[in-house]
Structure 1
Amino acid sequence: MNREEPDMQTARRADTRPATCRETLSRCALVVDGNSHRPDLSNPCLPQNFGPVAAESMLPAVRTVAQMIAASRHRFDRQSPRVFTDEADWFAARIIIFRARRFHLNLNLHFMLETANRRAEAFAKTHRLPFTPAKLRISLYADRPNNLLMMDCALDLDGSDLGLIENSRRLAGLIRQPFA
């Protein structure tokens, strides 16, 4: 979780008034260990040498918003699928909760991120939350494990590493709690 140079972003708010703002982005390394749609993410090993890392499974707001986004397009007159959320639901939730502005991903996830942005924007509009679309930055972390997500967020992270649990607790204090 390292601070990065300010980046000019164009913010689109749920009330559809465009506003230009200057944001300071912080690097956030997140162990994505809570999504059942990707069994390969259930790696019991913690990533090493990526700076301070937080655990998504300790941040229930992400799961809640991902489930709500999936539920918004579910037809309740039919049986629910075994896996209710998909990858775009989780990324949409991260855009909302962490104010994620850039994800460090492989280029083949570009279309998934576009879908996530559309879902996050619809969710934000419905719940009158601010929204800024996230962008893809081609990952330069070739040795990054599958269960580690690198993102740049509009959160004030100080970059100190106090261990997985304390890092997660501190991040929980900074993230958007949309229904608190």
Structure 2
Amino acid sequence: MKTAALHTAQTQPAALHRCHLIVDGNTHRSDLCATGLPQTDGIQVSEALLPQIRTVATLIAAMRHDFDSRSPDVFTEEADWFAARIIVLGVRRFHLDVTLTPMLKLANRRATAFAARHKLPFVPAEIRMSLHAGRPANLLIAETELSMSDCGNIVANSLALKNRLPAFGMPHLKSGGV
């Protein structure tokens, strides 16, 4: 009986925590940077203040790039950013429009390849059909195993989260430097 109870406890998924990610760091979507901060009732985090996401998105894009040819003006794609969010934040679920399912599948494939190459643990993200049709374009609702508490404002929330994330080869980022 103890074995059955232990087995059940080990297979239970971890609790997920909702994060309202302000996607203000994506160079491939300049329209996301043009709008102000959306009003939400969740814990807001600024992606621009989480350099680990930009770094991993760029590294994922670099895995596809032929360095013998010229680099494109915009190096990363939307799937690279989603793959980076999955890896860096441990996102398990995104609240998205169902039309973004193919992009999320591509992001999961890219994240899988990156994680395998760098021997990182990986769990693919799922899509939860969004019921927030009027949500601003620069607001992404994600669920992650990382617990977060509201530190009072978006900057404090972002910096607190940044210091809990892996540095991905950038040790100066853990100590608060940019």
Fold match (TM-score > 0.5): yes
Instruction: Report the Cα offset of residue 175 of structure 1.
Output: 2.5
CA distance in 2, matches of 1:51, 1:96: 22
CA distance in 1, matches of 2:151, 2:139: 16
Matched AA of 1:176: P
Percent of counterpart pairs with the same letter? Answer: 50
Say which structure is richer in strand: 1
Instruction: Report the Cα offset of residue 155 of structure 1.
Output: 0.4
8 Å contact kept, 1:69–1:119:
yes
Matched AA of 2:148: L
2:69: which partner in 1? 78
Q: 2:50 aligns with which of 56, 59, 74?
A: 59
CA distance in 1, matches of 2:60, 2:160: 25
2:127: which partner in 1? 136
Matched AA of 1:170: A
When Rg is computed on C-alpha atoms for both structures, the one with the higher figure is 2
Correspondence list, 1:21-40, <5 A: 22-40=13-31
Unaligned runs of 5+ in 1: 1-18
1:94: which partner in 2? 85
CA distance in 2, matches of 1:75, 1:49: 41
Instruction: Report the Cα offset of residue 44 of structure 1.
Output: 3.7
Unaligned runs of 5+ in 2: 1-9, 172-178
2:3: which partner in 1? none
Instruction: Report the Cα offset of residue 21 of structure 1.
Output: 5.2
Q: 1:124 aligns with which of 109, 115, 134?
A: 115
Which piece of structure 1 moves more, 52-61 or 38-47?
38-47
1:13: which partner in 2? none
Instruction: Report the Cα offset of residue 92 of structure 1.
Output: 0.3
List structure 1 segments (4+ residues) > 3 angstroms apart after TM superposition: none
Superposition TM-score, scaled by structure 1 size? 0.85
Instruction: Report the Cα offset of residue 164 of structure 1.
Output: 1.1
8 Å contact kept, 1:31–1:56:
yes
Matched AA of 2:39: Q
Which piece of structure 1 moves more, 141-150 or 87-96?
141-150
